[in-house]
């Protein structure tokens, strides 16, 4: 039995939030996440007639991964050629929370992003999807098109890496104080 052809509107509505979370897990800057997600769906719309309809998650993940790589190359080129100062959207003040709480939250997020960025891409991706984005192991296996045992192995090593990185960070802070 051949899968039913996908309708773009349904695809978009069903998968947009997932793609946004994958982009975050792949290390896309938070400020660019929504734009990158839109770009993923522009590609998906263009390629939809050629898609066989199997493993939608894997197909969209591959597109998202390519968009993040392309974005990094573009961003590197912009930073290398444009000498102007970029404005970090995360640095703009917010009235939603008190100043101290906002700074603490931002510092914790930066630390998490910094530590996670030091992991291998395969481990980081599984760690972020499971621990932060709350995907199940089975969902991650389907998205990445890997056996479930591979997901659990990567998650085990990623957790170990994270704890080692966090311990090293704490030791460095204690030595610096």
Q: What CATH number does residue 38 fall under?
A: 1.10.1740.10
**pLDDT in the model for residue 122:** 92
**pLDDT in the model for residue 1:** 39
Residue 136's domain comprises: 98-177
Same domain, 160 and 114: yes
Boundary of a domain, candidates 41, 71, 89: 89
Same domain, 128 and 167: yes
Q: Rounded to the nearest 5 degrees, what angle is found at the Cα of 44, between the Cα atoms of 132 and 27?
A: 30
Same domain, 2 and 46: yes
Please write the tens of the pLDDT for every residue from 47-79: 998 888 888 999 999 999 889 888 877 776 555
Same domain, 17 and 84: yes
93: CB partners within 8 A, 6+ apart: 102
**pLDDT in the model for residue 88:** 55
Q: What is the mean pLDDT of each run of 10 residues along the chain (177 residues)?
A: 69 93 86 91 92 89 89 67 51 56 74 87 90 87 92 95 91 81
Which residue stretches of 132-147 are H helix?
137-144
**pLDDT in the model for residue 120:** 92
Domains held by the chain: number: 2
**pLDDT in the model for residue 132:** 81
Contact 81, 124 (CB under 8 A): no
Same domain, 26 and 73: yes
**pLDDT in the model for residue 91:** 54
Same domain, 81 and 1: yes
């Amino acid at each position: 039995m051949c899968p039913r052809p996908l309708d773009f509107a349904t695809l978009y509505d069903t998968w947009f939030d997932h793609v946004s979370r994958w982009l975050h897990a792949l290390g896309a800057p938070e400020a660019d996440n929504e734009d990158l997600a839109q770009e993923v769906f522009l590609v998906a719309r263009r390629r939809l007639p050629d898609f066989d309809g199997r493993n939608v998650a894997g197909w969209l993940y591959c597109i998202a991964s390519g968009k993040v790589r392309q974005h990094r190359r573009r961003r590197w080129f912009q930073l290398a050629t444009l000498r102007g100062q970029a404005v970090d959207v995360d640095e703009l003040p917010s009235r939603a929370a008190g100043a101290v709480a906002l700074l603490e939250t931002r510092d914790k997020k930066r630390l998490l992003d910094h530590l996670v960025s030091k992991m291998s891409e395969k481990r980081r991706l599984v760690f972020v999807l499971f621990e932060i984005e709350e995907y199940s192991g089975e969902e991650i296996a389907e998205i990445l098109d890997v056996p479930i045992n591979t997901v659990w192995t990567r998650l085990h090593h990623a957790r170990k890496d994270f704890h080692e990185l966090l311990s090293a960070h704490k030791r460095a802070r204690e030595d610096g104080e």
